[in-house]
A and B are shown apart, each in its own frame.
Chain A
Amino acid sequence: MKRLCMGLLMVLVCNASFAQTKLFTKTGSITFFSKTNVENITAKNNKVLSIWEPASGKIEFSVLMKGFEFEKALMQEHFNENYVESDKYPKAIFKGTVENSNSISLTINKNNTVNVSGALTMHGITNQINIPATITINNALVSASASFEVLLADYKIKIPSLVADNINKKIKISINIPLYKSL
């Protein structure tokens, strides 16, 4: 009986400890930016889901394409209708790993520079990417940021020749997670 109790306790402890090691947010932001001589286009989404498991290093992002807000409504419509085809491919998803994740102390104040590698799925196409990122620990609060570039052609997003001068073929993407909360 004692052992059974211990066993039960172990289950609880196990679950609790595994549960504690996941950090989660619903309010991450992704901004993308296209710069050309003709015009600069920028859009932002403030409802990015992300989860990070420091022990294993696993990290995931999920974002609804329709949640990107542009300054010009027409651009937003074209983005959804013509470029990323949000009806067909509603989400962009990243599944990857933070390298040497378990060496990051969640209690020591520090800007940890890390490498994140994994699979980015967008517009129905998956590509392996490897990007530098920063995980900041400040008074036991965890935040993160990264920026990288994607080639539209890699995701089969076609720019018609008529607007080829208005949209950069390389889009700069900035990710900012203001606060990861333990799940």
Chain B
Amino acid sequence: MKKNLLLILFAVCIYTAHAQDGSLLSGLEDSTVTEKVTGAFKSTRVINAHSTEMLAKGNLDFRILHRFGFVSDGAKTFFGLDAATMRLAFDYGISNNVMIGIGRSTFRKEIDFFAKARILQQATGAKPMPFSLLVAGGYTIYTGENSVLTKPTLTDRSAYYIQTIIGRKFNSKFSLQLSPIFVHTNTPFNLTDDQSIFALGGGMRYKVSKRVALTLDYHHPFGELADNSTDPLSLGVDIETGGHVFQVHFSNATGMNERAYITQTTGNFFKGDMRLGFNLSRMFKIGKRR
């Protein structure tokens, strides 16, 4: 009996020694690792709207944005290509979670500034986080001529916006975000427009290949806007080539800053009142990363 017991013990001993044959590392791998989810969108903008993506610290993003005329204008304007407005912008990553930007649009000769901060980043692992949460705030000032006889003051020319962005990368292909935004324009272009407009926005992307993704960007403003104003809707394709991201899209919005595209979009997208546009992003690195 005792011999048997000894044998069993011996067997247990051998067994425990061999139990780890499969993988020596099994059980030792860190269960405390939290992985941040990255690459929900290819760019810091879905098309017009801020996305859940941030610039990394020290990255400078030079953005050239074009919007042509309405395709529905037909052959006499070469389907809108005769007319173009643009916005030039520099965005810079102060830290991995804070970025700033400055842009200048031909539309109303408007200059815009913004800051964007990431509060929560989607993560998996030990401390999972189901979504990313960001806030963006901006200031715009138009410098173009105004029809009003009295010269508008600095305050008259100003507008402000604040936006939160809640987004989730559902899988490696599909990402979705909601971006409610509040825009306050001191003197709206149409004097009957509400000064304060709230809009609910949504954006998504679907990757069709490693370097090509389809994007959609939509906002619905609540409040009194001009009769001919419509909801800004953009459909696009993101094409990534090394340090560049090309965003080619159709949109009914002319404006490329928040005030402009939320409050001053006209044209019915589904009746052909859409314009070809592209955003070109070129990334430069300034200074060491860490």
Contact = CB atoms under 8 A, between A and B. Distances in A.
A85 interface: yes
B252 interface: no
Interface of A: 3-4, 6-8, 10-11, 14-15, 18, 22, 24, 26, 47, 49, 51, 53, 58, 60, 62, 64, 66, 69, 71-74, 77-78, 80-82, 85, 87-88, 90, 95, 160, 162-163, 166, 183
Contacts of A3: 2-3, 5-6
Interface string B266-290: 0000000000000000010100110
How many of chain B's residues touch chain A, expressed as a range?
A: 35 or more
A15 B25 contact: no
B10 A80 contact: no
A22 B241 CA distance: 46
Contacts of A8: 9
Interface of B: 2-3, 5-6, 9-10, 12-14, 16-17, 23-25, 28-30, 33, 35-36, 38-39, 55-57, 59, 93, 171-172, 210-211, 240-243, 283, 285, 288-289
A119 B16 CA distance: 25
A14 B211 contact: no
B9 A7 contact: yes
Nearest to A17: B17
Q: Which 5 A-B pairs have the closest CB atoms?
A: A73-B56, A14-B13, A7-B9, A87-B172, A51-B24
Contact of B33 (A7, A51, A64, A87): A64
Contacts of B57: 73
B16 A82 contact: no
Given A66-B35, A74-B243, A26 B12 contact: no
